[in-house]
A and B are shown apart, each in its own frame.
Chain A
Amino acid sequence: MMVSLQAWIRFTGLSVLLLLVACSSQAPAPIEDREVTKRVRAPASKESAGVQVYSLQNPAVKQLAAQAEVAENTGDLDLATGYIERALRIQPQDPQLLQHMAELKLQKEDYQQALNFAVRSYDTGPRVGEICSRNWRTISVAREHLRDNSGANEAEARATRCMNTRPKGF
């Protein structure tokens, strides 16, 4: 079941890509149908009830992140990326911003950069809770697209441990 679901998702991903190639002005998929929602955000949010660790963001960063979210929902990934870049200039080590960038890169199918930003977010982040889960799920999806299946599985397993491991230093 799991395998066939993944295959189905990959198939839809490919069809979306083909559609995009065929007609570049095609509207993007609604946010709830995107891979990033189904395979990263939704499961991380579902698992993490009660385990939330957020860094402090200043109001300017919050505002830019909110603008990025709006742009992302309407499918303007370049604009969203621009907002997150501006926010990262203000708080370059903010794990949420880095993870948001990773998820944008995932949607832009720049899997190597998605992987890199997610790893950086994990390094600078709490290494526990929802954001940790999103870090590893992004890493997993990115590795899968980069044809590193064992790495993808390992990352998937790490994601589930985000909820029960107490990281050192906390």
Chain B
Amino acid sequence: MAKKAKTTVKKTPVKRTGSSKTRAKKTSVRKAGLIRRLFRLSMLLLGLVIGLGVPWVVWLDFQVRSEFDGRKWDLPSRVYSRPLSLYEGLAISRQSLLTELKVAGYRQSPDAGMPGSFSLQGNRFDIHRRAFTFDDGSEPATRFQLQLGNRSVTSLGGGIIAAEQGLVRLDPAEIASIYPLHDEDRTLVVLQEVPELLVTGLQAVEDRQFKHHHGVALRSIGRAMLANVKAGRTVQGGSTLTQQLVKNYFLSSDRTLIRKINEAIMAVLLERHYDKAQILEAYINEIFLGQQGKHSIHGFGRASEFYFAQPLTDLDTQQIALLIGMVRGASLYNPRRNPDRALLRRNTVLEIFGETGLLTDNEVEAAKSKPLGVTNKPPSGGSRYPAFVDMVRRQLRRDYHASDLSSEGLRIFTTLAPSEQEYAQQAVSGGLDELQQRGLPAELQAALVLVDVASGEVRALVGDRVAGRNYFNRALDARRQIGSVIKPLVYLLALEHVDDYNLITPVKDEPVSLRQPDGSAWSPANYDHKSHGEMPLLEALVHSYNQATVQVGLNIGVENLIRKVRQLGVNAPVPAVPSTLLGAVELTPIEVTQIYQSLAAGGYSVPLRSVTAVQTPQGELLNRYPLRLMPLEHREAVALINFAMTRVVEAGTARNLHALLGSDTLIAGKTGTTNERRDSWFVGYTRDRVAVSWVGRDDNKPARVTGSNAAMRIWASLFRQLPIFDIDLRMPDGANFVWVDMRQNALTDPSCAAAVQIPFIDGTEPELTTACLDKLERKNRKSLWRKWFEDDG
């Protein structure tokens, strides 16, 4: 057809048209000539239209279709936090529960009437949970009451459906929507989930003919032109929703007539290919509604989060009206910058809702009396927890086929605990500010990883001192020397050699000099530049003595240490040189956490994970990560090291921890400092949580930090906010607590002053027994009467 059109153009004799301008004397001849000329001109125009227009339309059709198809299916995957399980006895503070509700988009209202809202009186929460499809099935919306006591749930009741009695899961917070294979965030919605008022209201305000027109509404254009002519400027646009959508696809400030014609043609084409519902859904997800720095806010779903910090489904009448009003000019009616103008516009929209019968007069008046209700600050960045979401992306790409991840709209269930994440970020941001005030360098950076001990599930991950920033995820990528944080592994290996070591075996802390592979001499010193002589192995670890550790380490072999690091799930390169014994090995915070998860769990290693399940939009599970246990060998030795690490906190390098925490809970910990105070590490665990914090400078310059002056403080300010419980020091099969006199390396009587209870692997207890003088003296002082009635034992 295009070819044919071209020939027509060629055949059109342009010159001959000119030559017919010869003078004719007869009127009839003139008339005939005019008709002929008009005919030829119209043929020329027709030719032009067909010759140029048809290919042009074909081209526009191609453009608009590929744009629509390209975006229509681009539903991102939704990333959810872990659902919070609520039950009697759950340890949770009021602040944590409020944070969990807030991040999950729950609103406080006087009556908790709508799903997604709650009311609060004293410590009594009335929560209206939304319906939600979890990774193991759907739960309907339900309303229940919860009473908080002293940092725990004391009762749970109300209209909970039978299957959930005693245990209610909150629907999880949607923490991000991602394209697992790209790095871009959006919040798209499906039409069925969009509030009805948004769908009808949008048409009432922007395009009342939407259901009937074919992309362009001539009547609206006419009306708009008339209004514009009357006003002498552009006051009304006659664009249909379809035209506006097209305009958004090819966003340009250009307002030429050609452009408008193009948009109109494309709108008609779009309507030919897709139905109204598809077009409306695309519109709702595409329309421009604001700007955040470099990023545009597209679509009502994202705008709802951006302006109200709520999911679209939870919006009230007046909030919906505000967003619809902003379609006309997102910048002009920006409720944060121009609140007065935005309020006027919103109320105009509400009146239109009233005029078109969408709302009653009373409803209009009630909605008009409400404030704008936007949050003061927009949420930061695309996702609230970029470092954690980064880990989710990496684990998805590691564990799933690209073809699975490219499907639209996956639902990704993760392990993040929003309240713990908020505390962790505060601990890092606030902690570094405080260190700066105490005179430490302003360039300090930090990372913090918080993991559930038994499951290895990552509850919080912080990779930068600034919340929401993630150009360098230090928790996953900062590879730094770990210093003394390696020592517990050296002693763990020693204790596995049951013939050579137990916790009270005497070891020597004395100068040592070794030849390095490059020929240089290596003579490590202690932190206090003293040597402390012979002492029980336990004390060498508790006080983190370098020279004693090297002596023990050389005896067990650096290769064995490297093998141990591998067994504990870390594959990073570890140099086979003696300085490795003192932590001259570079690991990331997440790798250090992996190592200590195994110890904290009593020797049951679990790969750290941020994703628990991935589901298709239809609710079909693509994969679940089941809970698996991987027991290490020599778990008795692990139990002994856990005991030793509690002594580090009770009496060793981390003894300030209790004061920082304001609690005497039994905690295991270890500090780490590297040469010239470049890195500060702290590893610590309670019964339920293991966390690793690191502080240092990105340029690896001396930072004047030590394990206890920096990282431990951050660790403590996180754990001050969490419920903490004593770690379980019950020995596994094959180890037991025994009363000994450490200095004498001998068994002793519990009543002796020097007697302490130390765990031993069965068969490694000291053979010698010692009596104690103080006990003998006390016995002698006993009354004759008691001596008669007591036997000597």
Contact = CB atoms under 8 A, between A and B. Distances in A.
Contact of A60 (B167, B452, B624, B631): B167
Interface string B711-729: 0000000000000000010
A93 B688 CA distance: 10
Contacts of A124: 728, 730
Nearest to A108: B626
A30 interface: no
A93 B600 CA distance: 12
A63 B732 contact: no
A116 B732 CA distance: 14
Contact of A116 (B87, B455, B629, B728): B629
A59 B624 CA distance: 26
B254 interface: no
B631 A92 contact: no
A124 B629 CA distance: 14
A113 B454 contact: no
Interface string A47-65: 0000000000011101110
B730 A169 contact: yes
**Most chain B beta-carbon contacts within 10 A, residue among A79, A88, A119:** A119
Interface in B595-645: 602, 604, 624, 626-631, 635
Given A81-B626, A93-B454, A119 B631 contact: yes
B455 A89 contact: yes
B454 A168 contact: no
A39 interface: no
Contacts of B452: 89, 92
B45 to A, nearest CB: 70
A123 B89 contact: no
Contacts of B604: 116, 120
A123 B454 CA distance: 14
B407 interface: no
Contact of A63 (B136, B167, B628): B167
Interface in A85-99: 85-86, 88-90, 92-93
B626 A123 contact: no
Interface string B743-767: 0000000000000000000000000
Nearest to B604: A120
A13 interface: no
What is the interface of chain A mostly: helix, strand, loop, or mixed?
Answer: helix
Contact of B626 (A58, A60, A85, A116): A85
A127 interface: yes
B736 interface: yes
Given A113-B629, A168-B736, A90 B728 contact: no
A116 B88 contact: no
Contacts of B89: 58-60
Contact of B85 (A62, A81, A90): A90
B453 interface: yes
Contacts, number: 65
Given A86-B85, A89-B85, A116-B631, A60 B166 contact: yes
A94 B109 CA distance: 39
B455 A88 contact: yes
B165 interface: yes
- Pick from A60, A62, A88, A92 the residue with the most CB of B within 10 Å: A60
A33 B627 CA distance: 27
A157 to B, nearest CB: 15
A117 interface: yes
B733 interface: yes
Contact of B166 (A59, A86, A89, A117): A59
Given A85-B627, A113-B628, A123-B733, A63 B165 contact: yes
A92 B453 contact: yes
A122 interface: yes
B602 A123 contact: yes
Contacts of A63: 165-167
Given A60-B166, A63-B167, A92 B136 contact: no
Interface residues of A, number: 28
A143 to B, nearest CB: 14
Contacts of A85: 626-627
Interface string B271-311: 00000000000000000000000000000000000000000
Contacts of B454: 88, 92-93
A122 B629 CA distance: 14
Interface string B39-63: 0000000000000000000000000
Contacts of A60: 85, 87-89, 166-167
Given A116-B630, A117-B629, A120-B631, A92 B455 contact: yes
Contacts of B624: 82
B190 to A, nearest CB: 27
Nearest to B728: A93
Given A63-B166, A85-B626, A90-B85, A122 B733 contact: yes
Interface string B429-458: 000000000000000000000001111000
B732 A123 contact: yes
Given A63-B167, A89-B85, A82 B136 contact: yes
Contact of B88 (A59, A93, A119): A59
Contacts of A81: 626
A169 B731 CA distance: 10
A67 B730 CA distance: 30
A64 B85 CA distance: 12
A123 B87 contact: no
Contacts of A120: 604, 629, 631
A122 B635 CA distance: 13
Nearest to A92: B454
Interface in B58-91: 85, 87-90
Contacts of A113: 628-629
Interface in B176-196: none
Contacts of A79: 136
12 contacts: A59-B89, A63-B166, A64-B167, A82-B624, A90-B87, A92-B452, A93-B454, A113-B629, A120-B629, A123-B635, A123-B732, A169-B730
Interface of B: 85, 87-90, 136, 165-167, 452-455, 602, 604, 624, 626-631, 635, 688, 728, 730, 732-733, 736
Given A59-B87, A60-B87, A92-B455, 8 more contacts: A58-B87, A60-B88, A82-B624, A85-B626, A89-B455, A90-B90, A92-B453, A116-B631
Give me the 9 closest cross-chain CB pairs, A-B, nearest first: A92-B454, A60-B87, A60-B167, A116-B629, A123-B732, A59-B166, A82-B136, A58-B89, A63-B166
Interface of A: 58-60, 62-64, 79, 81-82, 85-86, 88-90, 92-93, 101, 113, 116-117, 119-120, 122-124, 127, 168-169
